[in-house]
Amino acid sequence: MPLDRRQFFQASAALGASFALPAPLLAAEKGKERRIDLVSSAFTVALDPSGASRSAVWGFNEQLPGPTLRFRRGERVHLAVKNELPQETAVHWHGLRVPNAMDGVPGVTQHPIATGGRFDYRFELRDSGTFWYHPHQASFEQVPRGLYGALIVEEEKPPSVDRDEVWVLSDMKLDNQRQPVEDFGRILDIANDGRIGNQILVNGLVAGSQRTLTIRSGERLRLRLINAASARFFRLAIDGHEARIIAFDGQGVTPHPLPAGGLALGPGMRVDLIIDCMGSPGQSFPLRDLGRPPATPTVLGALTYSSQPALRSKPLASAVTLAPNRIAEPDLAKASDHYIIFQGGMRGSPVIGLVDGKPSRIQEIMAKQGLAWTMNYNAQHEHALMHEPLLHLRTGEHVMLHMINETDFLHPMHLHGHFFRVLAVDGKPTPHREWRDTVIMGPRQSIDVAFVADNPGEWMYHCHILDHAAGGMMGTIVVE
Ligand SMILES: [Cu+2]
């Protein structure tokens, strides 16, 4: 271990008060494998540096969010996770194409890590991009308590920028004493929009115009945004700047501006922006969450110009397109069609699901099992993954997956171990055919995605509203 643990925590505590995430954790190189130690535990943090109160959270290495892990594509890593939580856990590396046994899903890819126990995750980083890590055990409780962190894999030749920043967006549900409300897993949250916090956090601190990112006029900024909230969607807009989207979920996309109504970022999703900062010294521009109408916009943070003279008078002319990762291209001519139908929730038409093979009304499923959602007519518990997988795919199969949302709710659907191209929404082709690992399915919407099933194993496929996942929107896809 490169640093004595106490020294490490003291160093990170000293950094904790500043807004920017602490400097990336650097690991000593051990042969060609880089080792990082992560300890999940309960501790307290000051969410508002100007306030006196500290809030009880769970997190990694006594930091909220956990340390930003920064690697280079092609590196081999060893992530040693120690569990000091009062319950079992496991860590999933969201978006990384790892071997199945390293995917961090208890009951499917590994045994849960007991209190006091440890698990060693070792894999090669096949893809560059913006990723994150979080538990996949009781995730509806462990993630909103604070167990999440950014994982950045740099390109061999990253686009030239003056600043590369990570903003981890999340929220917490706090009481009057600024302590977490202990109401995880309520059926009312499960069957509706999920448990949404009353305090938005940016890099573990209360959101607002005081969360400034100080920049110099003329700088080119790469801003990586990660939605680590367990249920909240963000709809992002930046005043006074023409930000360009260069990546979704870590994968390069044709650079294009933010949509006029704001950029939707569902739970689990990431976006990389390039912003040429051409404001004047002393100016400040908010980055807002426009929310869901009729909600009023919330200021998340601000780009504030220092008084330093401009770095350059014209924006950099160099390209901002990312070199693609090596992802097998699905051949639509030979792709096989598969369908997943989603039903359930408190609103909408009555649905029928199967409980122990018997057709049941959703009200019965809720009352008897605490579940509220079905996928292909099946509802199952997060840790009762003894049911049939949703799909069986052959290794190398070209897949066209049609996702049909018959609910009145939004669902950010996440597939492990693969990226898919988003081809159509309600049958209408998408403008960028982007690669993603998580895609928003709007109410009553159908989404068509395609991919090559080239990573063998049993992979989770679930809604990233973690209360929905706990309430039945959790299944597996087998690549055999
Ligand atoms: Cu959902």
Residue 53 CB coordination number (10 Å): 12
Q: What is the pLDDT of residues 399-436, one digit of tens each?
A: 999 999 999 999 999 999 999 999 999 999 999 999 99
State residue 365's pLDDT score: 79
Residue 179 CB coordination number (10 Å): 15
State residue 15's pLDDT score: 38
Confirm whether 322 is domain-assigned.
no
State residue 369's pLDDT score: 80
Cα of 470 from ligand 1 centre, angstroms: 10
* CATH label of the domain that carries residue 401: 2.60.40.420
CA-to-CA distance for 295 and 478, rounded, in angstroms?
40
Residue 188 CB coordination number (10 Å): 11
Confidence band for 383, pLDDT divided at 50, 70 and 90: low
Cα of 268 from ligand 1 centre, angstroms: 12
26: left (phi over 0), alpha (psi -120 to 50) or beta: beta
State residue 12's pLDDT score: 38
Residues of the chain with pLDDT > 70, as a percent, come to: 90
114 and 204 both lie in a single domain:
no
Confidence band for 5, pLDDT divided at 50, 70 and 90: very low
Cα of 54 from ligand 1 centre, angstroms: 32
CA-to-CA distance for 38 and 114, rounded, in angstroms?
15
Cα of 164 from ligand 1 centre, angstroms: 31
102 and 209 both lie in a single domain:
no
Whether the per-residue pLDDT at 304 is higher than 80: the answer is yes
Cα of 386 from ligand 1 centre, angstroms: 21
97 and 142 both lie in a single domain:
yes
Confidence band for 449, pLDDT divided at 50, 70 and 90: very high
Indicate the burial class of 334 (C-beta count within 10 angstroms; 0-12, 13-18, 19 or more): exposed
Tokens encoding 259: 């949509």
418 and 448 both lie in a single domain:
yes
Cα of 466 from ligand 1 centre, angstroms: 8
Name the residue with higher pLDDT: 94 or 318: 94
CA-to-CA distance for 155 and 417, rounded, in angstroms?
20
357 and 338 both lie in a single domain:
yes
**What is the average per-residue pLDDT within 66-79?**
97
Confirm whether 188 is domain-assigned.
yes
Confirm whether 355 is domain-assigned.
yes
Query: Going by DSSP bridges, is the β-strand pair 251-257/336-344 parallel, antiparallel, or unpaired?
Result: unpaired
State residue 30's pLDDT score: 42
121 and 36 both lie in a single domain:
yes
Confirm whether 226 is domain-assigned.
yes
**What is the average per-residue pLDDT within 203-228?**
96
Residues of the chain with pLDDT > 90, as a percent, come to: 79
Whether the per-residue pLDDT at 32 is higher than 80: the answer is no
Cα of 439 from ligand 1 centre, angstroms: 11
Whether the per-residue pLDDT at 276 is higher than 80: the answer is yes
What's the one-letter identity of residue 13?
A
Domain boundary, last residue among 267, 286, 305: 305
346 and 376 both lie in a single domain:
yes
CA-to-CA distance for 304 and 320, rounded, in angstroms?
23
Structural domain that includes position 461: 332-479
**What is the average per-residue pLDDT within 49-71?**
95
CA-to-CA distance for 69 and 150, rounded, in angstroms?
6
Cβ–Cβ < 8 Å for 291, 280: no
Whether the per-residue pLDDT at 385 is higher than 60: the answer is no
**What is the average per-residue pLDDT within 67-77?**
96
| Cα separations in angstroms, 70 against 45, 165, 252, 422 | 23, 12, 18, 27
Confirm whether 314 is domain-assigned.
no
Cα of 77 from ligand 1 centre, angstroms: 32
**Which residues make up the environment of ion ligand 1, defined by Cβ < 5 Å?**
411, 463, 465, 468
Name the residue with higher pLDDT: 6 or 106: 106
Ranges 63-67, 186-190, 219-223, 450-454: which has the least confidence: 186-190
Cα of 366 from ligand 1 centre, angstroms: 15
Confirm whether 320 is domain-assigned.
no
CA-to-CA distance for 44 and 223, rounded, in angstroms?
28
CA-to-CA distance for 54 and 47, rounded, in angstroms?
7
Domain total of the chain: 3
463 and 412 both lie in a single domain:
yes
Confirm whether 326 is domain-assigned.
no
Name the residue with higher pLDDT: 359 or 389: 389
340 and 391 both lie in a single domain:
yes
Bridge partner residues of 132 (DSSP):
94, 150
Q: What is the pLDDT of residues 169-214, one digit of tens each?
A: 999 999 999 999 999 999 999 999 999 999 999 999 999 999 999 9
Q: What is the DSSP secondary structure assignment for residue 174, as one 8-state letter?
A: B
**What is the average per-residue pLDDT within 232-247?**
96
Domain boundary, last residue among 267, 288, 305: 305
Cα of 373 from ligand 1 centre, angstroms: 8
**What is the average per-residue pLDDT within 444-468?**
97
Cα of 66 from ligand 1 centre, angstroms: 25
Could you check whether the bond before residue 294 is cis, i.e. omega within 30 degrees of 0?
A: yes
State residue 350's pLDDT score: 60
Domain boundary, last residue among 135, 157, 179: 157
For residue 289, report the phi and psi dihedrals to the nearest 5 degrees.
-100, 115
Confirm whether 431 is domain-assigned.
yes
**What is the average per-residue pLDDT within 434-457?**
98
Whether the per-residue pLDDT at 20 is higher than 60: the answer is no
Cα of 465 from ligand 1 centre, angstroms: 5
Whether the per-residue pLDDT at 239 is higher than 80: the answer is yes
Q: Which helix (H) or strand (E) holds 223?
A: strand 220-227
State residue 347's pLDDT score: 72
463 and 338 both lie in a single domain:
yes
124 and 170 both lie in a single domain:
no
Cα of 463 from ligand 1 centre, angstroms: 5
Q: What mean pLDDT, rounded, does the chain reach?
A: 90
Cα of 310 from ligand 1 centre, angstroms: 46
135 and 169 both lie in a single domain:
no
Cβ–Cβ < 8 Å for 47, 206: yes
Question: What Rg do the C-alpha atoms of the chain give, in angstroms?
Answer: 22
